Amino acid sequence: MKKTVLITGASSGIGWVTAEYFARNNWNVVATMRHPDKRNIESNENITYLHLDVTDKKSIADAINTAVEQFNKIDVVINNAGYALYGVFEAFEEHQIKKQYETNVFGLINVTQAVLPHFRKMKQGCIINISSMGGIAGFPLYSLYQSTKFAVEGLSESLSYELQNLNIRIKLIEPGVIKTNFYTSSLDEVDAAGISDYSFMESVYKQKNAELGKKGSDPILVAKMIYKAANDKSSRLRYPVGSDAKLLYGLRKILPLDAFRLIIKSVFSKK
């Protein structure tokens, strides 16, 4: 019997590449997005496109119910929907901060809570949360975005213990820099207008950010790691993706915190 995966934020980037990869491996794919009507959707017999806004609980319930009605069950949920708020912390406005958390944290919580009753009924399931190497280390100008990923890391680790006796697995995917629209259309940039003390730092870091976006790993590497995690029956929690993420994760594990912070400072102090 074919397995079924539901993916949030599947209109582009990692979400879309992952949907295609699971479909090629003969899974039923429920690719959800806020505006499926606005996307030029490719025909694929293994992919069903549904509306789902992670900040709208009704749309989440409707998508899950439709998927279960059509395929009898959901085996895996991939919490991929999210975006990055980028800029000087002092310049962020309250509505921007709330939107970042409503999507990246509360949206993920909404989807997870909505699918757990189904997984408990099935006595099995897998929830894959897309985190980031920015969920284990903070970088300048990403304070809000990375704080949401730290939240996802803590939530996922706690849930992995809470759900283990119910045969529900929690997995964290931690990509490094990936060549997607993350650094362009998905990046919500905020300028520190009028705060001259940050001008030099902004110009240096934004240039580095643009350079990083061009050198990232192919998103197919993330899709393959997600697929591996979906099929991994072990209790493994974290799956770093890309040489940069694996290096960072390794250093974080073996170095004292102060030594690790010195390395991060040295990287971002280079002009």
By annotation, the residues acting in catalysis are 145
Q: How many CB atoms lie within 10 A of CB 57?
A: 14
**Token pair for 168:** 């529900």
3-state secondary structure 12-32: CHHHHHHHHHHHHCCCEEEEE
Q: In this structure, are residues 153 and 142 in contact, taking their beta carbons and an 8 Å threshold?
A: no
88 vs 100: CA distance, rounded Å: 15
130 vs 83: CA distance, rounded Å: 11
Chain center to CA of 258: 28
Half-sphere exposure of 129 (CA within 13 A, CB side): 32
